[in-house]
Amino acid sequence: MSQFSLFLGKEWREQARSFKLVWVPLVFIFFGVLEPLTYHFLPQILDSVGNLPEGSDFTLPEMTGADVYASLTGQYQTIGLLVLVLAFMGSLSGERKSGTGTLLYVRPISYAAYYMSKWTAAVLLAVVSLWLGYGMAATYIVQLYDHVPAFSDMVLFLLVLAVWIGFVVTLTLTASSALPTGGAAGAALGILFIGMMIDSLVGTYWTWSPWKLQAYGLAFLTGSPDSGDLAGALVMTAVLAALLVLFGILQARRNAAKAKV
């Protein structure tokens, strides 16, 4: 068996036995259920909370299906990213710190296979979790809302977001390869959220950025994004991710010396 498949088997088992395979998808599914429900029942919820002044009369904006997807995407951009970074921050650094990596590093292993197996397992889990979340949301949205996006647009939307999530996970794994667990989480979250801030400030001029992907993806639900900008952002993300992977592999090899003996 190749080292990659051996390592992948190990990652798979680890995700299953640490319940990662259960809780990560469930968090995404949870928000996928909660978001459409909240907006649908918002009038009743406000009513039952009952602290509105008597006779006050205001109309809630009418939410379309696309609006709910956008709002859910906002949730995934904060809590979703946080959960993914926390779930994968120790992927490599944890094995150095606990010393479980030591007995791997003394064998004639390929660090590319080592890193890529973790990358494959983590990206698969993250993307499938994200899709399950949106899928669950879709089952509610088609029941409760008007103006539901077409299926083909949803597929494009989900593919673009998968690239973004792949970038997030790659960044987290490379941070875990280069830094101790705490630093890895800080660095990954820092870069992600600083990127978002920069995007919100000068995003109009910086159209080819990974941080633009979620906006471009959402644009499929209400119309279609500028195909040139989308292609540029996708290529830029792919190039950055490839560089991160390369850097992650080199760091995994270099930091093997830091594994606890």
Partner 1 sequence: MNMVLEVSGLTKQYDGFRAVDGLTFSLAEHTATALIGPNGSGKTTTLSMLAGLLRQSSGSIRFSGTGKDPRSAIGFLPQYPNFFPWMTATEYMELAAGLSGMGGRDVRSECEKTLGFVGLGDAGKKRIGGFSGGMKQRLGLAQAIIHRPALLLLDEPVSALDPAGRREVMEMLKELGESTTILYSTHILNDAEEMTDQLLFLRGGKLIEKGPLREVREKHGGSGYRVLFSGQEAAERFADAVPWAASADGSAVMISGETVTMEELLRFASEHPAGITDIGRTAVRLEEIFMKVVGKP
Partner 2 sequence: MSFTEQLAEIPWGLIWPLIVIQLILMTAALIDLNRKRSTNGPVILWVFIIIFINTLGPVLYFTVGRRHS
**Among partner 1, partner 2, none, residue 83 binds (CB under 5-8 Å by kind):** partner 2
Of the two residues 87 and 230, which places its CB atom closer to partner 2 in the complex? 87
Classify burial at 36, counting beta carbons within 10 Å of its beta carbon; exposed 0-12, middle 13-18, buried 19 or more.
buried
Query: Binding partner 1 by CB under 8 A: which of 29, 109, 144, 250?
Result: 109
Q: Is residue 110 within 8 Å of 209, Cβ to Cβ?
A: no
Site string for partner 2, 61-90 (x = CB under 8 A): ----------------------x--xx--x
3-state secondary structure 218-255: HHHHHCCCCHHHHHHHHHHHHHHHHHHHHHHHHHHHHH
Per-residue burial over 220-237, b if 16 or more Cβ lie within 10 Å, else e, is bbeeebeeebbebbbebb
Of the two residues 12 and 206, which places its CB atom closer to partner 1 in the complex? 12
Query: Binding partner 1 by CB under 8 A: which of 98, 139, 143, 224?
Result: 98
d(CA 182, CA 214): 27
Residue numbers 194-233 binding partner 2 by CB under 8 A: none
**Among partner 2, partner 1, none, residue 22 binds (CB under 5-8 Å by kind):** partner 2
Query: Binding partner 2 by CB under 8 A: which of 37, 113, 132, 196?
Result: 37
What is the binding site for partner 1 (CB under 8 A)? 1, 3, 6, 10, 13-14, 17-18, 98-100, 102-109, 256-257, 259-261
What is the binding site for partner 2 (CB under 8 A)? 18-20, 22-23, 26-27, 29-30, 33-34, 37, 41, 83, 86-87, 90, 94, 97-98, 136, 140, 181
